[in-house]
Structure 1
Amino acid sequence: MHTVTPRGTTRSGAVDWITAGLAGLLLISATACAGPETTPPAAPAPAASSAASNAASAAPTAESPAPAPGAVPPDPGTAAGKALDVLATIPVKGRAPKTGYSREQFGQAWADVDRNGCDTRNDVLRRDLTALALKPGTGDCVVLSGILNDPYTATLINFLRGNSTSSAVQIDHVVALSDAWQKGAQQLTAAQRLALANDPLNLLAVDGPSNQQKSDGDAATWLPPNKSYRCDYVARQISVKSSYGLWVTQAEHDAMARILGGCPDTTTSGSQVTPAAAAQVPAAPADPAPAPAAPAPAAAYYANCAAARAAGAAPLRAGQPGYREQMDGDRDGVACE
């Protein structure tokens, strides 16, 4: 047999070359005979319960590390379930004193907790209103006008941004912050209280006069005039209180149970503030508004918003010299907007 040696290759090198080629052919032949590798199918696993699935989806992963204890509200979804069942898990206690309460305990009004560049108030207006008109140059944040299908009164309300018109539509804390303070929020961290005040779950755009009438009432002292919305309203309060570890009074519990008795299948939902967003929320916004050109003196008093603007002090925020609730038409903590 005549062996052909590749050009430029020594005879000993040719032997190595031929040996390697034969080894490769044997490997290919063995693979072809064996056929594709197959793995016997595993026995189907039993279907996981929805509760287990929720728990698995909420578990922290390497890409989403667990937040530090006490830094954030409970994971979204912890309050999900039938409202009556969730209500049964909420402690029943007496109302604590209101001592120490102020709006500032829940952070600056309408902080941008989700870091989308828009304050929470405008986020809620964009969510709840239709036929929106947005202010140019604001990154589609500021709502100039729209139509609200009000859940509290079952009426259509035209919203028009302005000093004398904005108050027709107000953003209601479904669980009033004062009520939350007296039922457990005193024990929350500053970040948790800020999250509670800005959680979309706890916020609704509603009829201004109805919101004023409600004030800081709970389900035992105030319910929406629109009776068809009461089941969802009470379920929303239960969702918030369960998500943030708040309690209810006996009268409040009984009122909630009575309403839900007529709609026992009404469900709740969990907090809508993501742990990552809540953990990053500082005591003040990351990009605070620039200070007024002429700050108001300590004893400042303005007869009206026109006077505040003339002095260069508008807008006035709750806690600043010169701020008065009478000048804050929509009671959002910012007067003379």
Structure 2
Amino acid sequence: MAALVGAVVLLGSGCEDAAPKKGADKPAGATTPAAPAASPSTAAMPTLVGQKFTDAEAAVKKLVSRAVEARSAYSDVPLAADHAAWAVCFQTPAAGSPLEPSSAVELSLVAPGKPCPDKAGAALAPSTAPAASRTPAPPKPKTSPPTDGGSTGGDGGGSGASSVYFKSCAEAKAAGAAPMRRGQPGYRDALDRDKDGIACDK
């Protein structure tokens, strides 16, 4: 009999414990404080790459109050005054980034039919201007000071007979002076390798 009374007491105590547990679950399961965590004024930046500027601008204007900044994706291609049909290559902020009404949005565009560069601000055409300006000009013949020993010019192989001086046969040919015979301007023994009296003939 004592055992039966004990069992009844235990069952009774179990019923009493269940009631407070249910009551304790209500405040713990309440989600009202967590709801305001997401700010209704913050949106996500949409994906605009590949869209025309007019469509991208319209999508952004629904989310921000500031004007959308547009620029050319190429450093050497100016942005056209009418760039409505230009395509978006790059966007700032990136797609999925938090976007507030005061956020600044910048879009880098390319003209219709043009490919997007690897990175914003790259050049569309490789710089060929420096290479074109580097075309070598024909070397000017170097002149040596005139000598007073005119009488010795004939014996010196023409080295002292003229004030025209060429450092090499390539320089003489570039100046249009080769071949040069002994006694002609620019002739000197050092340029006449076979000593036949004609310099830079080969």
TM-score, length-scaled by structure 1: 0.14
The one of the two structures with greater contact order (alpha-carbon pairs below 8 A, sep at least 6) is 1
Q: Which has the larger radius of gyration?
A: 2
More helix by share: 1
